Amino acid sequence: MLDDSPINLLSMDRKTMESFFLDMGEKRFRAKQLLQWIYQRNVVNVDEMTDLSKSLRKKLGLEACFTMPEIVSQQLSKDGTCKWLLKLRDGNCIETVYIPEKDRGTLCVSSQVGCGLNCTFCATARQGYNRNLDVDEIISQVWIANNALESIGVGGYFQDDDSTNQSSNSTFTVDQRRPVTNVVMMGMGEPLLNFDNVVASMNLMMDDFSFGLSKRRVTLSTAGVVPAISRLAETCPVSLAVSLHAPTDDLRNRLVPINKKYPIEQLLDACRQYVGEKNRQRITFEYVMLKGVNDSPAQALQLAKLLVDMPAKVNLIPFNPFDGVQFARSNSKTIDRFTETLLDQGVFTIKRRTRGDDIDAACGQLAGNFHDRTKRSIRMSQQRVSFS
């Protein structure tokens, strides 16, 4: 035995797994075989891994395991979005969301149990924080989603149909199974506050012998942990999204409190360095539209001025309400006017379609079920933040 307890093979990237097999007296290529069985064939029973010798399978059965979260519930939205509540080994629960589209299947993956930050418009933040997720708990979300989608035969796409007379079932067209083609680290938690485990997980997602995703199909979303953005550029330059949500420090300090530590100017400098001089990719700036708070034409002009020299894409997100929040969603005319102002200033801008809000799976609505070590959930229920 290598340890008193079995080693979870889902916690290993290819390099770590190669060392594991070498320590067992096996050849390095066994790691590639095992990765393919786990992530490309969805097999986590060593007895079914027929190209491994019987002696190796027996040894793996004694010294290793495949431990992953348990599916507590699975909800399917009328638009095809699917949400899973996953129970971790310590009893805490996280949420993972799959969003099908005509040309892709995007999985929104969590990186923490709760969130270590305190953004005022986010349901996850109001629930508080418990701990970082381990590598196996992050990568398992992709495995579970792929396996569950295959099992239930989900894989259609949202219809662009404005009819209000359709039943909830008819708005989702089942075409063929769409596996997870894109991963966004936009679920519960701030990924850059769990840097090592998140990077190891993303590298595993991109491994040719695992899910084989390209760097452009893996996106990390951050509220602005500036030192870690620079570190990410050096170690794992995936697509970057930044939760901006305000054009001035005064407002962003109240909406996204980490801005007090890393103000907008520092954040944008880090973003410019991330894309480098060649500007081979755009930074996505997420901007949730809050009625009467950050949605005026003047604020759109301020935002455009901030991004004038940035290879940027602004993603305008209609606010998704949840119990106990004081914000409201900007109306469609306001969002359209904000969009037009940015476009007139030469800023590439898109309006995100709200997906999965009927099952609380939309952006900012993930909450999970966990013990809040910070007691923030209690404090937030007792206070209101004014933005008048």
Report the percentage of the chain scoring pLDDT > 70.
83
Q: What's the token pair of residue 10?
A: 């889902």
* Predicted local distance difference test score (pLDDT) of residue 154: 53
Q: Of the given ranges (171-180, 274-283, 294-303), which has the lowest mean pLDDT?
A: 171-180
- The answer to whether the beta carbons of residues 128 and 376 sit under 8 Å apart is yes
pLDDT tens for residues 280-311?
Answer: 689 999 999 999 999 999 999 999 999 998 99
**Whether the predicted pLDDT of 350 surpasses 50:** yes
Q: Which residue carries 């330059």 as its tokens?
A: 237
Higher pLDDT pick, 345 / 175: 345
Q: What's the token pair of residue 356?
A: 């999965």
> How many other C-beta atoms lie within 10 A of the C-beta of residue 259?
24
Q: Which residue carries 């390095």 as its tokens?
A: 28
The DSSP line for 80-102 is S-EEEEEE-TTS-EEEEEEEE-S
Name the active-site residue from 108, 119, 122, 363.
363
* Predicted local distance difference test score (pLDDT) of residue 317: 94
- Work out whether the CA dihedral 296, 263, 193, 381 comes out positive or negative: negative
User: Could you give all domains of the chain from N- to C-terminal order, each with its CATH number?
Assistant: 7-65 (1.10.150.530), 70-381 (3.20.20.70)
**Whether the predicted pLDDT of 71 surpasses 90:** yes
**Whether the predicted pLDDT of 175 surpasses 50:** no
* Predicted local distance difference test score (pLDDT) of residue 157: 44
Rg over CA atoms, the chain: 22
Residue 332 contacts by C-beta under 8 Å, 6 or more apart in sequence?
none
Task: Measure Cα distances from 227 to 247, 262, 275, 367 in Å.
Answer: 21, 9, 15, 27
How many whole angstroms separate alpha carbon 267 and alpha carbon 163?
Answer: 42
Provide φ and ψ at 298, rounded to 5°. -65, -40
> Binning pLDDT at 50, 70 and 90, where does residue 2 land?
very low
Question: Average pLDDT of 76-105?
Answer: 91
Q: Annotated catalytic, 95?
A: yes
Q: Annotated catalytic, 363?
A: yes
**Whether the predicted pLDDT of 367 surpasses 70:** no
Question: Average pLDDT of 44-62?
Answer: 95
Name the active-site residue from 95, 137, 190, 286.
95
Across the chain, mean pLDDT equals 86
* Predicted local distance difference test score (pLDDT) of residue 163: 35
**Whether the predicted pLDDT of 198 surpasses 70:** yes
**Whether the predicted pLDDT of 93 surpasses 70:** yes
